[in-house]
Every structure is written in C-alpha cells, then in structure tokens.
Amino acid sequence: MDDALSWGSIIARILQQFLPVWIALIVTFALSIKFKRNLGLYGKLFDSPVGMVGFLLVMFWVFTAIFADLIITMDPIAQFGRIKNPLPGTALIDVKDGQYGYFLLGGDHLARDVFSRVVMGARRVLTIAPAATTFAFMVGVTLGLPAGYFGGKLDTILSFFANLVLAFPVILLFYLLVTPEIRVTGIPIYLAAVLFIFPIIFFATLFNSRFFTNPPRRNLYVGVTIVIGLWAYSGLAFNADPLGVWSMDPNLLNVFVSVVFVNSPTVFRIVRGIVMDLKARDYVAAGQTRGEGAWYIMLWEILPNARGPLIVDFCLRIGYTTILLGTLGFFGLGVSPESPDWGSTIDDGRKLLSIYLHPAITPALALMSLVLGLNLLADGLREESMKD
C-alpha cells in the first residue's frame, strides 16, 4: 500500500489530469487574441480583463465537460475501497490493473471518487443549464416579440400570465412539479408539450417570414424545421420517438420543464421591453412602409438589434439556471439519485460536513467558479458592447 499523497503532489496530479483542458484553452485564447479584430463582439471581449477572466472560467468548465472522459480517474458512480470518506490523497487499496491509485480529492461516504464526480458533474450541469436556458429564451422571445410589438390586449394578457408565474414561489413550484402525485396527473408532460413547441414555432416563423417571397426555398427551410422539430418534439416531450434517437429521462424532463417554465417569463419581459423601444425606429417604419409582415419586422428587423442585452442576459441566466439546478439537486429533486451533478453531490456531503469537508466543498467551489465565470463574462460583454 502506498502512502497518502502530499498536497503538492495532489495539485500536480490534478493539473496533469486537466492537460487536455489546458491545451484547448491555450489554443482557444491564442487564436482568439490573434484574430480579435475580426471577431466582432466576441473579439472585443479580449480587450476587457474582466471578460477574459470570465471567459477563461467558463471555457475551463466547458472543456472539462467535453473532455470529462479523459480527465476522470475513476468511475464516478462506482464505489471503491472499504474506507468511508477517504481524505484527499488517500491511496486506493487493492489497485487493479489500469486503475488510478489515489482518491485525488478524497472520496464520499460511499467511497466514490470526489474528483471524478465533480468532473462528470460538469458535463451534467453544462448540458442541462444551457439547453434549458435556450428553451426559456425561445419561449420568452416568441411571446415577448408580439407582446411588445402589438401591445394592447395581447400584451396585457401575456404580461398578466408572466407576472402570475413570477409571483409564485419558485421552490414551491419545483416541489409541486416534482412530487409523484403531481407527476401522476401528467402536468409536467403537458407543460413540456406546450413549452417544447415554441422552438418549432420560432424557427418556422423565422424562415417563413423571410423567405415567403421565394416559395421553393421557404418550403425547404420550413419543411426541414418542422420535420426535425416534430421528430425531436415527439421524443423529448412524450418519449414517443419512433426511431428512438430523442428521449429524455422522466426525472430530467421534470427538472428541465421546471427550469424553462420559471425562466421564460423573465426573458419575456426583457424582450418585450426592448421591442417597445426598438419599434419606434425608422428602419422599422421603413419595413412597414414597404409592406413587410409583422413577423418579419419582429424577427429580422428588431430581434437582431436586441441581441446585445439578450446575450448578456443569456450568460447571466445560464449561471442562474446552474444555481437553480444545484438547489434542486440539493433538495433531492435532482436528476437521479446516483447522478454526479453538483447539487446532489453537495447534498450528499452535507450530512458529514462537520467531520469531512471535502465531499461537499469541492462541488461547491466548482459551482461557484462556473457561476462567477458566467457573471464576469456577462459583465465583460456588457461593458464591451457599450463601447463604440
């Protein structure tokens, strides 16, 4: 049996494990800085130290998620050894061939490797959070554009529902959506059915409003959107994909739907506000005077010019969603009991927090650094998009 590792060698080994991430980061930064003058807003990000730090943190976790299989030292779900809560650097007993010999950041109460769980957790978090945020944006944008553009009764009704959702306590809403009794009634499925249709509507209108002057091309784009959209829709919302490519775990679906449901009203309100401002511009009037349809004006004249604040909000919202997922996991409403997502891991570690700090603190730091990175990135983007 080997001796436990010192902190120095733990850090050295961790740094070594992240080697693919370092290489990817260096390549990304080198290329981006070299060509930053040709890259628009993204390029300008590299003029702002705050933005660069934020981007670095975010990309660290993105690459960690991508290369997670190369980085992990052990199976994140499997249990190793006989000791509970091994300390960081503890050597594994009975090392088999090809197995990594140490718990780099210790193990949890089931002797699962904390380091590997956190790395795998990044993959979990970084697939759900951006996807859920994207869906929330689709819903918010598709409803916010007409509310702001047409105003009147439509706006009053939509804003009322948005306020209704916002006024409801979020955690309570989650509990309700995830409790078995509610799930039996099928409410999450219905919600998913409603929310998941929005991306299809969004893209179909987007292409139709622009290409209706050219029917063959319009038919192609809208057709492809609808075929792929409905295919994915059947799989994701009803788990009824005939080909079995698209599917979503029922637990995941619940979490996903709740996050989208809670986020979309805020997006709706932001979009509505920007549209009300932009619709008074002359280029909108120019579109109207040449007989352009309302949806073309909304989606092609107004939306692209609202991108600045929306991109910033998107970054902040991914961070917010990440925390939300963490909170859900912490309350045991997570994706699945075994899942290595950060929220559940913190919850697992919480029980023995006064004795063993490491199983909870590592995922907590990971969560914090990702959200911090996203917030800094949003700050940097905001600052840079204001200039010139």
The residues of the shown chain that bind another protein, judged by CB under 8 A, are: 47, 213-214, 281-283, 285-286, 288-292, 300-301, 304-305, 307
User: CB 97 → another protein: shortest distance, Å?
Assistant: 56
User: CB 282 → another protein: shortest distance, Å?
Assistant: 4
Of 47 and 75, nearer to another protein (C-beta) is 47
How many Å apart are CA 131 and CA 302, to the nearest integer? 24
Beta bridge partners of 103: 90
End-to-end CA distance of the chain: 63
Of 241 and 292, nearer to another protein (C-beta) is 292
Of 44 and 124, nearer to another protein (C-beta) is 44
User: CB 297 → another protein: shortest distance, Å?
Assistant: 10
User: CB 283 → another protein: shortest distance, Å?
Assistant: 4
Instruction: Estimate the crossing angle of helix 7-17 against helix 19-34, to 10 degrees.
Output: 60
Of 25, 154, 14, 35, the closest CA to residue 88 belongs to 14
Of 75 and 292, nearer to another protein (C-beta) is 292
User: CB 291 → another protein: shortest distance, Å?
Assistant: 4
For the CA atoms of 180, 184, 185, 188, the dihedral, rounded to the nearest 10 degrees, stands at 70
Of 101 and 293, nearer to another protein (C-beta) is 293
Structure tokens given for 94: 């009975």
CB 73 within 8 A of CB 92: no
User: CB 40 → another protein: shortest distance, Å?
Assistant: 10
How many Å apart are CA 252 and CA 1, to the nearest integer? 41
User: CB 304 → another protein: shortest distance, Å?
Assistant: 4
Of 368, 370, 349, 371, the closest CA to residue 360 belongs to 349
User: CB 201 → another protein: shortest distance, Å?
Assistant: 21
User: CB 200 → another protein: shortest distance, Å?
Assistant: 24
How many Å apart are CA 352 and CA 359, to the nearest integer? 9
How many residues belong to the chain?
388
User: CB 302 → another protein: shortest distance, Å?
Assistant: 9
Of 8 and 215, nearer to another protein (C-beta) is 215
Of 7 and 160, nearer to another protein (C-beta) is 160
Of 183 and 210, nearer to another protein (C-beta) is 210
Of 206 and 333, nearer to another protein (C-beta) is 206
| DSSP-assigned letters across all residues of 341-374 | -HHHHHHHHHTTTTT--HHHHHHHHHHHHHHHHH
Structure tokens given for 115: 């380091």
For 171, 177, 186, 204, 236, the CA distances from 190, given in Å and listed in that order, are: 20, 11, 6, 22, 12
CB 158 within 8 A of CB 378: no
Of 370 and 381, nearer to another protein (C-beta) is 381
How many Å apart are CA 388 and CA 378, to the nearest integer? 18
CB atoms within 10 A of CB 305: 15
